[in-house]
Structure 1
Amino acid sequence: MDDTGRAARWEDRTELPLAVASLVYLAAYAIRVLAPGLAPVWRDLCLAVLLAAWALFAVDYAVRWRLSGHGPGFVRTHGLDTLVLLLPLLRPLRIVRVYDAVQRRHGRPRLPLYGRVMVYAGLATGLVGFAGALAVYHQERGAPGATMRTFGDAVWWTCSTLATVGYGDIAPVTPLGRLIAVAMMACGLALLGTVTGSFSSWLIQRFARGNEERPPGR
């Protein structure tokens, strides 16, 4: 079997376990952020889970790099994978690969194309939004002059940012918090554009089909 076949086989076998690992990573990070008064032993356990999950992500990245046969070019052609390795909280953006892996095992997709796109965008928005709220709250809580005092404030800010509304009542004040804000704005624009474009394309297709099925002269 050539390198391409081995790489595809590796991804089929590891995508679902890695998806579970990413959810465990997110849960451990959420516990560390939302439960600051947790006993040291539990905080250390959460840290160990975070490091173990990241180690799995790094091993997967290294194996796929090796099987690709592209050498340093793998980093350029797999920009999202590289970004996710550096920022594991963005792993929800890889959810489309999990869906592809499931479909390859079960055969024909259960949802039409537009439905799959909208479901993916919805899941990615929810997971990335939750991760972003955790990350920005982690940076902002207790900062001098911070307006984001609770996790509820962080969730409200995340929703308004992803929706590209930006009321301005709550805004990050720390450098890392503002960097996270820029990333959330980019994700919001990309995901909102995906949903809007897919829905518009579906409407055009439906109207075009209706015109084709209409009897002549009517």
Structure 2
Amino acid sequence: MRARTLGQVEKVTPTLSKSERIRQLAKEGVSTADIARTLGIRYQHAYKVLKDAGRTSIPKPKLSKPAKPILPKSILLASGFVVAAEWKLIDADTIVLSTALPKCEGVYAFSIDNVIQYVGVATMGLAKRIYFYAKPGISQRTSLRLNSVIRELLATGKSIEILYATPDHMEWNGLPVHGSAGLELGLIKTYSLPWNQRSSK
């Protein structure tokens, strides 16, 4: 039933008790705040009456965010990313790269079954950043978390590829824009990346 306008609210039968009028207005789709304002009563009074009656407000439809699409590896390859290496499991606690990565800064991605799982930026250089996933420090929470994920998946026989790209820096109205940082954030905001905690927001 559609919510009533304030003009319609004023036509509620005046012979009803105040509590009955509160419940009737709520039943007609009027919000608790509008009920209090129209009847000249405190919000808490209207709220208590509706709460005692098992109804405190008009249910509002939830606006769900559209689901983000997955990021196929093919999209990154077509845009200039290259497959650089794979993660390899040496023993239960040790992972290494199949090939060394370059020392330049850039954006990297982890791919499983041709779908990107994680995207990151290596401002300190790709080789150094990826090294911390293999040997994470005690305070590096993301590296520790992904090290565990990678080891567990490799133990099940999964193949995990590492891609990277080195986008150019740009300018916006004369101001510097970091190419790698901007690309990383753009991918995280646009696509569903299961290992990126920011991607779910």
TM-score (norm 2): 0.22
Compare the two structures and name the one with the higher helix fraction. 1
TM-score (norm 1): 0.21
User: Which protein shows a greater Rg?
Assistant: 2
